[in-house]
A and B are shown apart, each in its own frame.
Chain A
Amino acid sequence: MSLPPQLRKISDTVWELPVGYKEGMRVPARIIASESLLGGMEAGVFDQAANVACLPGIINYSYCMPDGHWGYGFPIGGVAAFDPTTGVISPGGIGFDINCGMRLCLTTLTEEEVRPRIHELVDQLFFAVPTGVGCTGFVRCSQSKFRRVIENGSRWCLENGLATPEDLEMTEEGGCFEGADADACSDKAIERGFDQIGTLGSGNHYCEIQVARPENIFDAATARAFGITTPNQVVIMFHCGSRGFGHQVATDYLQSFLKVMTTRYGIKLHDRELACAPFRSPEGQSYFAAMKCAANMGFANRQVILHRIREVFSRLFHRSPEDLGMHMVYDVAHNTAKLEKHLIDGELRELLVHRKGATRSFGPGMPGLPDCYRETGQPVIIGGSMETGSYLLAGMASAAPTFYTTAHGSGRTMSRHQAKKMVKGRTLLGEMEQRGIYVRTASYGGLAEEAGLAYKDIDLVARVTEEAGLSRRVAKLVPIGNIKG
């Protein structure tokens, strides 16, 4: 596609749309990409990044990460920080799947030990972790108990024997966004999500058995610090979010913001999907409290899934999770808004950072990281397509300009319908098995939509995040088993 003529090259990995690109832009928009990745981005990416630059209170730039693609509201890969006093909060800057995120868990097993049992393992995981349309979880939870879950996140899991203290330490925000208020959530949201704890969902959500092969280790010392110490070590990566509860919270507040945005606060936008309210307004604060509940549901959901995964491994290998070394590397959210302190023009300021399909990437020594990662920087998990593998990276100090943010995945290049036209789910399943990746799926159509050809080159995306100083590669992890919704 042709790039906007106003797009200016700032460096090999930074491209800028000036304020004059679109009426109402308050700051320029910056796309972080190589020339090749930039050329693959849809026109919608530039349009949406420019729309974000029009939002009140935005600081410095509207950013799009190297895996960016056309979404709704913000582009996927969109990042923007706002002054909490003059700025806004927008559900379209977070996404409907609030706290969609990635979790990575270690084992002491090797590929040689796991591969002979991969069918049993994946089959058992497929039954232990519900997937697909309308799935419900194994946690029997009343609506009143669910209100405690969403206010406490992984802490609720710890109290109920579904987590270890170390799990919480290895989760962004300790697995609980402080200030979550269940009263800010509608009864509808609670009814929609209370029985979905421990479910994967569908679309691009997955749980994968992966291998860290020696030739795919980029930084052995950091890999060791992250727990990857053995050749062909097996790890488990999964990707999911806050399920129907989070989707309903976002829907409810989008509707509520539409009603007041222009009439009460005089905010006019290019795209209604960016509906927003001043952060300090009653509506803005109420959404922030509800969004935190959804974020906590995301943490609890992934924690319960991890508990189920540990049970499956333990049953199959007749060893305890501790003995199998099933420690978490990290859990990181990629759809959130958070108050964080950042240095702006030499002054440390509190900002409301929206990340939509973008991962926090704190560098070494930053507050908020577990002690064991103070020297390495935060583990960053970038999920690739189920065919091509994923990356474990480390946060960098040089990510300060993007408010310490990096990519979250490989990013789609092809629509779901186009992918389904080109690939048949059953055929793909067979081909992947031939290549040593055993897949169980709730939907062959859904599987075809997630074929590797529908995504950007994950190796390139990961390399560009490193070249741009956002995150550095530690290891590439390749799949040998996968369950998909």
Chain B
Amino acid sequence: MAFRFLEDIATADVAFEAFGGTREELFISAAAALLRTMAAAPERVERRQELTIRLENQELDLLLWSFLQELIFYKDARRLLLHADTVRIEEREGGFSLESTLSGEQLSTDRHRLLVDVKAVTLHRLQVVYKDTIWKAVVVLDV
């Protein structure tokens, strides 16, 4: 999977770098990193429910921030662990819009090796950059 956890940022929290050949792939990788933070074996999260979310933001990094926040919201409000299956990002005058199809299932202490409850996505060192044909994001989660 196109992410790796970082050890030298924000001692008490969890930081990761995610990568993608496109912005959409980057967002899918970041969602995978978030799921891996909460569950040791994300591949065991079955795609039993599907939902679609739509978001807008003027900045691409803040769009990623809102996207990950949505996934955290569903973890608490609906007890859902979610994969991001598809992401579509459109650049419009003055900002970006996103549509994503998410799928997953209710979290289960029996079937999912749950790790840590993510409280929020921080803005600390949040970064989305395009360099050498690769999109890269740095994200710090409050846990």
Binding site for B on A (CB under 8 A): 42, 44, 69-73, 76, 92, 95-97, 132-136, 188, 191-193, 196, 201-204, 243-244, 247-248, 250-251, 254-255, 258, 271-273, 275, 412-418, 442-443, 445-446, 449, 485
Contacts and interface: CB of A to CB of B under 8 A. Distances in A.
A134 B124 contact: no
B12 A69 contact: yes
Given A72-B13, A416-B143, A202 B76 contact: no
Interface stretch (B20-28, B96-104, B108-116): B108-116
Given A415-B11, A416-B143, A417-B5, A134 B107 contact: yes
B87 interface: no
Interface string B113-130: 111110111111010000
Given A273-B123, A445-B40, A415 B76 contact: no
Interface string B33-44: 000001110000
* Chain A interface mostly: mixed
A73 B73 CA distance: 22
Contacts of B79: 134, 136
B134 interface: no
B2 to A, nearest CB: 18
B5 A96 contact: no
9 contacts: A69-B12, A133-B107, A203-B116, A247-B72, A255-B66, A275-B123, A443-B113, A443-B116, A485-B117
A51 to B, nearest CB: 11
A203 B117 contact: yes
B124 A72 contact: yes
B139 to A, nearest CB: 11
Interface residue SS majority, chain B: loop
Contacts of B116: 133, 202-203, 416, 443, 445-446, 449
B75 A133 contact: yes
Most chain B CB inside 10 Å of its own CB: which residue of A76, A192, A204, A275: A192
Contact of B120 (A132, A134, A251, A272): A251
B142 interface: yes
Nearest to B66: A255
Contacts of B143: 202-203, 416
Contact of A96 (B9, B39, B109, B142): B142
B89 to A, nearest CB: 19
A133 B45 CA distance: 14
Given A70-B10, A273-B122, A273-B123, A443 B76 contact: no
B8 interface: yes
A72 B142 CA distance: 9
B53 to A, nearest CB: 12
Nearest to A95: B142
Contact of B115 (A133, A192, A248): A133
B138 interface: no
Contact of B11 (A69, A73, A132, A273): A69
